[in-house]
Amino acid sequence: MDFFSWSNRLHSREPSAHQKSLAGPLIFPGAAVDADEVCLFHQTIDQGIAKRTLDSGKLLWTVQTPGIPLAVVGQNLWFIEGLSNRFRILALNTETGKTVNTSTWFDMLLGLPAIFDYNDYQGLSVNLEARWDASTKKLWIRIDGSTQYDGGSVPSPYIQAASRKIISMLVKVMPVTANISLDKTNHIDGFTINSVKQENKELPISFPSDCVSGVPVNSSLISSHKHRVIRSAKLSNYIVLLQILPVDHFSSSLLLLRVFSSDFSRLIWQQCIGNHYVEPVRC
C-alpha cells in the first residue's frame, strides 16, 4: 500500500460510537450548532440550509435542501421538512452537506398543514420543539398544532367549537442507528368540555424526563432590544437571537438571526434567514 492510500484510509476512519452520539447544544428550530460550538447551521431565505463559522459568520457552504435545522449529533445535522400535510426527518453530513438519512413521510394528524415556520396565520398554529436525551442518545422532536374556525363572523358557538382541532406528535430519532419512528400521538377533534380536560392532562405530549432543551436568554437582558425577539439561546461563548425586523407596510418582515458575544456587549454577525408574514385579521 502506497503512502497516499494509507493516508486516505487513515483519515477516513469511521467515527466512534461516542463521536456519533455527541450532540451539540440545542438552540431553536431553524438553527443548530455542533458540539464544539465552532459552526452554526441555519435555514436560508430561499429554502436551503447554510453552514457558517460561529465566531465570524463566514459562509462555508449552502445546499438547496429545504428544511428546518433542529440539532447536530456527531457528524450529522438533523432537520425536518414539511410538504402539504406530511413531514419527514432527514440528516445531512456536516462536512459535505450531502443528505445521508431520510425517514418515510409521516402524515400530520387531522390533516393539519406541515408548516414549520414562525409566521402568524389566523386560526392556525404549528409549533416545533426538540430535546436531547444524553442517557439514551435519542433526539426527540415534538410537533404541536391547533386550528379553529376563522371565516369571519361565527354562525354558531357549536360550529366554532366543532372546528377546533388540537394535535401533538412525538418523533423519536436514534442518530447512531438512524432509526426514526413516530413514538406517540394525541389529538382533539372538536372542542367540548371533556376535551378541555383532556387538553389540560394529555396535550401537549410530555418529553421523556431526562431530556434537555436549549437555554434561553434571561428576558431582562433582551427586553431593551428594539426589535421583537421570538427565540433566544445561550451558548458557552455566544448568545443567539432570532428577531423580527420590520421592513415597510407593503412587505413581509424579516427573520433575523443574530450572534452576540457571551456578555451581550458586541454583535458579532447577523443574517436574514427568512420572511415573517402576519396574516391580516379576517372580517
Structure-block grid coordinates of residue 139? 433526539
Yes or no: say if 24 and 37 are a contact pair by the CB < 8 Å rule: yes
Residue 270 CB partners (closer than 8 Å, separation 6+): 57, 256, 257, 258, 259
d(CA 76, CA 82): 19
DSSP state of 250: T
Residue 148: half-sphere exposure toward Cβ, Cα within 13 Å = 13
**254 — phi, psi (to 5°)?**
-110, 150
Over residues 169-183, mean pLDDT: 97
Q: What is the predicted pLDDT for the residue at 266?
A: 95
Q: Could you tell me the CA-to-CA distances from 133 to 141, 146, 147, 169 in Å, in that order?
A: 11, 27, 30, 17
Taking CA atoms, 180 is separated from 19, 90, 171, in Å, by: 19, 9, 7
Ramachandran angles phi, psi of 11, nearest 5°: -85, -5
| Cα-based distances in Å from 85 to 41, 70, 129 | 25, 20, 18
Closest CA to 255 of 239, 231, 238: 231
Q: What angle do CA 56, 118, 208 make, to 5 degrees?
A: 90
Q: Give me the chain's average pLDDT, please.
A: 87
- pTM of this prediction? 0.88
- Consecutive H or E run containing 141: strand 138-147
Let me know: does 269 contact 56? Beta carbons within 8 Å.
Answer: yes
Most confident range (mean pLDDT) of 86-95, 188-197, 201-210 is 86-95
Dihedrals phi, psi of 199, to nearest 5 degrees: -60, -45
Q: Rounded CA gap, 117 and 145, in Å? A: 12
Q: Is residue 24 very low, low, confident or very high in pLDDT (cuts 50, 70, 90)?
A: very high
Give percent of the chain above pLDDT 90: 67
- Residue 226 above 50 pLDDT? yes
- The band of 222, judged by pLDDT with boundaries at 50, 70 and 90, is confident
Question: Do 204 and 188 contact (CB within 8 A), yes or no?
Answer: no
Mean pLDDT, residues 65-85 taken together: 97
Of the pLDDT bands very low, low, confident and very high (cuts 50, 70, 90), residue 127 is very high
Burial (CB count <10 Å: 0-12, 13-18, 19+), residue 194? exposed
pLDDT over 90 (residue 148): no
Task: Write down how long the chain is.
Answer: 283
Interval 159-188 mean pLDDT = 91
Q: Is the predicted pLDDT of residue 176 greater than 80, yes or no?
A: yes
Q: Which residue has the higher pLDDT, 128 or 198?
A: 128
